[in-house]
Structure 1
Amino acid sequence: MNMQIQPARTPAETALIDAFGERLALLPGDGEVMLKRDAAVEALKAGLPTRHVEAWHYTDLRRLLASVPAFDAAADAKPVAPLIEGSAVLPLLNGAAGKPAAIEGVTVSSVSEKLGDGTYAPALGAQDGDDAIGALNSAFVADGWLMEIADGTVLEKPVELQNVQAGGQVHTRLAVKAGAGVTATIVERQTGTGAALVSCVDNVVVGEGSNITWLIVQEQPDTATHLGQFNAWIGKGAKLTVFVMNAGGKLVRQEVRVATKGEGCDFQLRGINLLGGDTHTDVTMVLDHAVPHTGSRELVRNVVTGKARGVFQGRINVHQHAQKTDAKMACNTLLLSDDGEFSTKPELEIFADDVQCGHGATVTEINRNHLFYLMARGVDEKTARGMLVRAFLAEVIEELEDEALVDALEEKLGAWFAAHG
């Protein structure tokens, strides 16, 4: 007889399972919602993923998540100034929905309401056996925002979804369903001030012919663990651009899972990871090209200082019927420290025979010739290094067409360099 011995639970695993029992009566929903929560907790009881799970090979969550803070009912999170002045703000303050701005052409409701009446139950649950973020979030999610954007709506100003924590545990959902012919910019802010465990799952449906730009700006303190998952389905002739900036957090995993559902659709991923101190940041993308005549471009730039460790895993699946797929992926890393490191794992799985697909990855230091060129012209070394690093990142940011967004993100860059220069 073969017997499998379950390893002893870590303090973090024990804390999560105990917290579910303590929180159960306070979580919204019953019936199918509670069944989904129970199933999610059973997945957590099986243990957090380790490096032996391929999808988590570079981020051994069982080892890295050393402890989990308790829920803090007294935590008092405050809204932050929007990234772009004049944005319509929908705040989530320590996991609870605040007062949303009214937006013409957009219907807004809270996740707690939909959990309470059971209509949100189908959205809960892990996507597969390796989906630790989906399981964790499904077990504990209490609130969030649901947005439905009417056909033909053009939003002149961004909508900012703020997820602000002040300590403890925060588990939220953000869901957007864009109808046909929609043009919108959504800014997702992940920030806070406390020692926290934060999970956030996004579900985005992009309707036929729509053009959606989604920015994730993650700037948690170095006392926080942030686990994010962005899921999207793109319709016929639609375009989705996702921009991810990681500029904080002690332990970060940001997943991007995208499926092309309509011919002629396009997906663009742009990412900037600013890694300093003794942090660990993982961006993992899985992209399914499932129909013919679709395109995608992924470009990720990383700056590593101190003892920071970074990861980019990018997997593109081209299905058998997805002829005429055009997909390119690149990851470029600038190492500014002998103690920092970055792991890159690009993958292509192609079952169609009429495609254009490719990937590339580089890891390098600052070019000594470029540094000498600037210093020979009177620029001090620290300033010269900063100029070269900013130039390395500028290409990604400047692809955004909105000048206000470019200026705001460059300001974030400046603040990070001031703290880590």
Structure 2
Amino acid sequence: MNMQTKPPHTAAEQAILDSFAEMIGQLPGDAPVTAARDRLLSDISNAGLPTRRIESWHYTDLRSLLRDVPKRSSGSARKLEPLVRGSVVLPVVQGLSSDMSAPAGVDLEPYLDLLVSGAAAKSLVGRGSDDLIGKLNGAFVQDGYSFSIAADQAIEEIIEIQSVQSGGQVHNRFVAAFGANAKATVIERHLGDEGEAGLSTAVTTLDLANGAEATWIILQGCGQHDQHLGQLNARLGADAKLKLYVINAGGKLVRQELHVEAAGEGSHLDLRCVNLLAGDSHTDVTLTLGHNVPNTTSSEIIRNVVLDRARGVFQGQIRVAQIAQKTDAQMACNTLLLSDEGEFAAKPELEIFADDVICAHGATVIDIDHNHLFYLMARGITEKSARGLLVNGFVDELIGELDNEELVEVLETLIEQWLADHG
């Protein structure tokens, strides 16, 4: 008789189980929260880390790539100055919130309080059998922030969520609710250092009520040895508009999931993503976008710069429901491959069940145009500087779409510095 046996746990899987056993007594939460954590950890133990056999993880075989899980560490991280002067900083230092303040019109509380009171218990569930990030975060989540913006409030200050880590494990959740016609700009900033390797997970949930407008920027600048697993889940009400920016400029192993539902007529999503990849890093951006009702629109542009032996992935799936007539969805993934050893895999998908739509996707992989390079060098610019100018132009176009000039300048400077450091 043939018997199927579960493969033994890898070193990373066993380290996750051991970490949970060590930390469970210190993780916040009442009995329902603890029970939810146990269920999620049991799911991870039974299924193991996802492999290529799972379609959504086909290009990021986590069972092979996640080889080391650090133990919990107090670290030496500290709060930093905001990117833009005058921003309201919500720091999470080594996994714990501190120095909490909020502008007028924003109701704010630490996620820790929701865990302790048990209010977070129902939200500690995964999106499905392949949701490793949601389950891992739910099992280990320590803190974060939950805030809501009152209806008709326009928040002038930029809100900067600042997750700073120095080795060890950090697991946070961020929940934001935008009331009807509310407006705000939020930067979700993940930072590491070049010392001890760290593992971080972050799950962000956005709910935009009718007419709300949000600009949400995920800026990932972890250390070169860090592993970061992020997930954003967003729901757009009628006439809501979400400008979503993702900038990856660090980390050894990174996966950023984006799951967006256009649930109200007239809603619109703009996604702009810049992946700056170097060394022997692996970065995966996976998008699922559901157009669930008629008359919704979206535009997704992903730009990638690949150096050295870096490997990148973009998976983008747009689903158009049968009732979602008059959908207009456009997606493009463009890669500048500057190394013979680098790789980038693009997998755009359309699932369309309506018959009156405008939908398109495309992907390109190119090197620097040598005619453009010659043009610049013929005018006395060195080859290195000319290459830098062309690469800058390739990605700066997306950043320039932001409304805030000071924020544009800061992000362009960060990108220029990365290119100078890795060029």
Question: TM-score range with shorter-chain normalisation?
Answer: over 0.9
**Cα distance in 2 for residues equivalent to 1:317 and 1:364:** 28
Question: How far, CA to CA, are the matches of 1:407 and 1:357 in structure 2?
Answer: 33
1:236-315 equivalences in 2 (<5 Å): 236-315=238-317
1:102 shift after superposition: 2.8
Matched residues in 1 for 2:111 and 2:2: separation? 44
Q: Does 1:50 align with 2:42?
A: no
CA deviation map 1:48-85 (0-9, x unaligned): 0001110000000010001100001x323101111111
Distance in 1, Cα, partners of 2:158 & 2:339: 37
Unaligned runs of 5+ in 2: none
Deviation track 1:178-215 (CA, whole Å, cap 9, x = no partner) reads 10011100000000224100000000001110110000
Distance 2:256 2:378 in 1: 41
The 2-side partners of 1:327 and 1:270 are apart by: 14
Instruction: Name the structure 2 match of 1:39.
Output: 39
Deviation at 1:166, TM superposition (A): 1.2
Larger mean CA deviation between 394-403 and 353-362 belongs to: 394-403
| CA distance in structure 2 between the aligned counterparts of 1:61 and 1:365, rounded to whole angstroms | 29
Please tell me the residue identity of whatever aligns with 1:67: D
Q: How many pairs are equivalent?
A: 420
Give how far 1:4 is off.
2.2
Helix, strand or coil at the partner of 1:268: strand
Counterpart-to-counterpart distance in 1, 2:33 and 2:385: 55
Residue aligned with 1:292, SS: coil
Compute the displacement of 1:2 (Å).
Answer: 5.2
Instruction: Give the superposition deviation at 1:30.
Output: 2.5
What's the CA shift for 1:32?
Answer: 1.9
Percent identity, aligned pairs only, is 52
Secondary structure of the 1:156 match is: coil
Number of the residue aligned with 1:350: 352
Cα separation, 2, equivalents of 1:321 and 1:35: 39
Q: Could you report, residue by residue, the CA deviation over 1:353-391 in whole angstroms, capped at 9, with x for unpaired residues? A: 111000000000000111111111111100000011111
Partner residue, 1:195: 197
CA positional deviation for 1:3: 2.8
Runs of 4+ in 1 over 3 A off after TM superposition: none
Q: Output the CA distance in 2 between the equivalents of 1:123 and 1:44.
A: 17
Any residues of structure 2 matched to 1:364-375 within 5 Å, and which? 364-375=366-377
Which blocks of at least 5 consecutive residues in structure 1 are unaligned?
none
Q: Distance in 2 between matches of 1:3 and 1:261?
A: 46
**Equivalent position of 1:385 in the other structure:** 387
- Conserved? CA contact 2:246–2:272, under 8 Å: yes
Structure 2 distance, partners of 1:143, 1:393, is 34
Pick closer, same or farther for the CA change 1:2–1:400 going to 2, 3 Å. farther
- Superposition deviation, residue 336 in structure 1: 0.7
Q: Give the structure 2 partner of residue 71 of structure 1.
A: 72
**TM-score scaled by length of structure 1:** 0.99
Q: Is the 8 A contact 2:103 2:157 kept in 1?
A: no
What residue identity is the alignment partner of 2:211? G
Deviation at 1:404, TM superposition (A): 1.1
Alpha-carbon distance between aligned partners in 2 of 1:330 and 1:63, rounded to the nearest angstrom = 29
Residue matched to 1:337:
339
Give distance in 2, aligned partners of 1:178 and 1:387. 38
CA distance in 2, matches of 1:126, 1:66: 23
| Cα deviation code 1:19-49 (max 9, x no counterpart) | 1111111011122212211111012102000
Task: Give the TM-score taking structure 2 as reference length.
Answer: 0.98
Aligned equivalent of 1:83: 83
Report deviation, 1:101: 2.0
Are positions 1:62 and 2:56 aligned together? no
> What secondary structure does 1:202 align onto?
strand
Distance between the aligned counterparts of 1:35 and 1:351, measured in 2?
39
CA distance in 2, matches of 1:106, 1:76: 30
Matches within 5 A, 1:17-36: 17-36=17-36
**1:230-241 equivalences in 2 (<5 Å):** 230-241=232-243
Helix, strand or coil at the partner of 1:26? coil
Contact preservation (8 Å) 2:272, 2:301: yes
What is the Cα-based RMSD across aligned positions, in Å? 0.9
Read off the aligned partner of 2:55 and give its amino acid letter.
E
Give the 5 Å matches for 1:127-138: 127-138=127-138
Rounded Cα–Cα distance in structure 1 between residues aligned with 2:330 and 2:388? 29
Distance 1:2 1:174 in 2: 47
